[in-house]
Structure 1
Amino acid sequence: MKPLSITCLLAITSIASASQSISSDDARIQTLGTKYIKQTEFGTQYQRHCEDVLQSPRKELGINPDKARNTSGIVLAFNSDSKAITAHFDILAANYMGSGFGVFENGVLIEELKLTPKEKTAALKFSSKSKGSSLFEIALPSFANVAFKGLTIDDGADLQQNPALDKRIYVALGDSISHGVGQDGATHKTWPFLLSRQLNAEVFNLAVGGGKISVPTAAMLSDWEQIDLITVLIGYNDLHFDGKTPAAYAAKYNELLDTIRTNHPNTQIYCISLLYTDKPTAKSGHTADEFRAALTQVITQRKSSDKHLFLVRGDSITSKKNLRADNDKDPVHLGVEGAAMLANELAAIIQQ
């Protein structure tokens, strides 16, 4: 048998590696779930919060800036007719909860990638399940800060312009329960993301693990021209780790709502009282029920002059079944199934 010529070898190599690169800042790649995007030496970086807000004094801010820089809720969306696609990322920071990516094609989950905190790069490879062009969505990790380096697609394939979105704008405020603890570090398993899908809404998840009531975050909402829906699920850390009394919790909650209403007077706000927990009593002696009662009083007093404000009794739509099955010592965080159950309950309430 004759040996292959150099020309033939080059042709075979070309066929095997026939691909092209798409830069991370290509205008045909749409970013959902954040207003704060910057180009850096690492690639395109995304923040859920304005950097000026994150530089506020920690006690006043009420959230951990490093956890706030995680990319929960952020989605990259693009249309392409490529059969094989690789998305490239640098992992700038990740914590013990790891980081999980999810890929959707035309609204259906087709690929997941779970990383460990030690990994510094990620190559998310997936293949189209459809013929022709598809809408692909990459849900970024909940508990990692990543930089997008760009895409690799088939040679001869292309990206198409994304059609204009006609989605409601939804903002989630809260702590680790909304940030995504208990759902594999993956945006697409968190309850705010799942709720947004049921409501055909674009979610901006501003919840931060360990967070307490954050008035600066509420003030930051002035950067949004319009918000259709806000959920607020906050208070567990105020009860257990901030030493607040029910009265102090109510006062701070009122300040939060006043700040939101300054810029968004007609947005629907659903205030969710503390969910079911295996740890209802703090070292201070105050209880989850006292905080629930305090929030009920806040909403009752404001309701007469605010017809767009609603109370959701968190302990009535959750139970021990919502808690993590993988960690029976966790007294408050939702498991994967528990997060989905909460999203379903809230969707039914909001859509009624």
Structure 2
Amino acid sequence: MTDWITTPLDPRIVRGALDLERTAHGVLPHRLPAWARKQFPDAYLRMVEAQPSGVRLAFRTRATAVELDVLPTKTVYQGAPAQPDGVYELLVDGRPSGRASVSGGNVHTVDMATGATVTRPGPTDTVRFTDLADGAKDVEIWLPQTEITELIALRTDAPVEPAPDRGRRVWLHHGSSISHGSTAGSPTTTWPALAAARGGVELINLGLGGNALLDPFTARAMRDTPADLISLKIGINLVNADLMRLRGFSPAVHGFLDTLREGHPTTPLLVVSPILCPLHEDTPGPTAPDFDAPELRFRALGDPSDRSGGRLTLRVIRDELSRITGQRAADDPNLHYLDGRSLYGEADFRQLPLPDRLHPDAAGHRRIGERFAERAFGAGGPFAVGGG
């Protein structure tokens, strides 16, 4: 019989979260701090910030067996195809070494037509990884990027200590559902996770599905988070939500950047505009599900002729982000701009179209991650070692 050792789940072990909330069951990783969560009324944002994209357990051990008790909350969208269970990925010394899923947990159902939600409680479950090689090794368990995951207990058959500090730089990234990885194949194959692995950096992923709306509390949370590199990918959800006009957008971008610079005055800061999305290149939002389509797809409800009144489209946003960063770079040499179409453009759309008209598939994530790593972390890039 295995003699299990239980290790406390605390910030020494749990990485990529800005807050760990103590619950009746264990701890719940959050990607926005407690004070910020008090400043927004949006139930969808409350859900996605608690989905642990980029959050992982990291420790060093000689263990050959690892068990993690969890209480997931799985989200189901009425009218959309059923999603597979989330994936827990095991890395040993940085190499993929196993995958697992659990079938238990709560089920959160969202009616896409009305926005109504209902949550059905469910049982805890256990993720198991066995037959690991004996000997000291660095172990990471990446949590499912689209399932809220309460961590109940970590058990191993040998003692655990926090993963040693390898001196890797910390990359803090903020974006919307594409950065969140809502359509990626697994937590380590979201495009930010792929880029982080290639860049040799520690990722804090504040990709928030349905958001990245220039919220001041997100800017303050990023301001207060230690980081060596920062990127900000904004645009698509401002169009999807039809949230503001050009008059409000421009000062909001300045304000977000001003807040970041309060805490990170000289940190390399990369502003990334939206990838190509033909649905909204020249057509404003809002965006809605296309219930007449046989599969989940989205459609634009705006009128292209409204651009003259300040309605935002992706072309308008790219032009304005380029202008703003160019203007500010005269006094801020560590501020950089990247056109998102260099990560995924017209040729990519022809080869790897967006299945629902908004989001790339797993292959699209890989391409975006590889391109970002090349342009940001590669020689001459703003995140290159020693500076671009």
What TM-score range do you get, normalising by the shorter chain?
0.7 to 0.9
**Counterpart residue identity of residue 275, structure 2:** L
State the partner residue of 1:149.
152
1:86 correspondence with 2:55: no
State the partner residue of 1:199.
199
CA distance in 2, matches of 1:227, 1:114: 31
User: Alpha-carbon deviations, 1:241-289, whole Å to 9, x = none?
Assistant: 1243334322211111111111111111111111011312221534311
Whether contact under 8 Å (1:47, 1:69) holds in the other structure is: yes
Count residues in correspondence. 329
Q: CA deviation at 1:93?
A: 5.3
Go from structure 1 to structure 2 and tell me whether the alpha carbon gap of 1:305 and 1:145 turns closer, same or farther (over 3 Å shift).
Answer: same
Q: CA deviation at 1:339?
A: 1.2
1:138 correspondence with 2:141: yes
Q: CA deviation at 1:58?
A: 3.9
**Counterpart residue identity of residue 19, structure 1:** D
**Counterpart residue identity of residue 268, structure 2:** Q
State the partner residue of 1:297.
323
1:108 correspondence with 2:90: no
1:167 correspondence with 2:168: yes
Go from structure 1 to structure 2 and tell me whether the alpha carbon gap of 1:42 and 1:258 turns closer, same or farther (over 3 Å shift).
Answer: same
State the partner residue of 2:4.
20
**Counterpart residue identity of residue 166, structure 1:** G
CA distance in 2, matches of 1:229, 1:26: 24
If you compute each CA radius of gyration, which structure gives the higher value, 1 or 2?
1
Go from structure 1 to structure 2 and tell me whether the alpha carbon gap of 1:19 and 1:210 turns closer, same or farther (over 3 Å shift).
Answer: same
User: Alpha-carbon deviations, 1:25-64, whole Å to 9, x = none?
Assistant: 378x6221123123332112211111211111448xx971
Go from structure 1 to structure 2 and tell me whether the alpha carbon gap of 1:223 and 1:288 turns closer, same or farther (over 3 Å shift).
Answer: closer
State the partner residue of 2:257.
257
CA distance in 2, matches of 1:131, 1:95: 40
**Counterpart residue identity of residue 93, structure 2:** N
CA distance in 2, matches of 1:39, 1:57: 20
**Counterpart residue identity of residue 254, structure 1:** H
Q: CA deviation at 1:319?
A: 3.0
Q: CA deviation at 1:303?
A: 0.9
SS in 1 for 2:87: strand
State the partner residue of 2:216.
215
1:70 correspondence with 2:51: yes
Whether contact under 8 Å (1:24, 1:43) holds in the other structure is: no
1:33 correspondence with 2:20: no
SS in 1 for 2:196: helix
Matches within 5 A, 1:177-192: 177-184=178-185, 186-192=186-192
Identical-pair percentage: 22
Q: Which moved more, 1:17-26 or 1:294-303?
A: 17-26
**Counterpart residue identity of residue 34, structure 2:** E
State the partner residue of 1:53.
36
Determine which of 364, 369, 372 is the counterpart of 1:338.
Answer: 364
TM score, norm. by length of structure 2: 0.77
Whether contact under 8 Å (2:229, 2:268) holds in the other structure is: yes
Whether contact under 8 Å (1:91, 1:145) holds in the other structure is: yes
Whether contact under 8 Å (2:354, 2:361) holds in the other structure is: no
SS in 2 for 1:254: helix
Q: Which runs of 5+ in 1 are unaligned?
A: 1-16
**Counterpart residue identity of residue 188, structure 1:** T
Q: Which runs of 5+ in 2 are unaligned?
A: 78-82, 108-121, 285-301, 308-312, 380-388
**Counterpart residue identity of residue 94, structure 2:** G
Whether contact under 8 Å (1:142, 1:180) holds in the other structure is: yes
SS in 2 for 1:41: coil
**Counterpart residue identity of residue 104, structure 1:** L
TM score, norm. by length of structure 1: 0.85
Q: CA deviation at 1:160?
A: 4.2
Q: CA deviation at 1:167?
A: 1.6
CA distance in 1, matches of 2:44, 2:246: 20
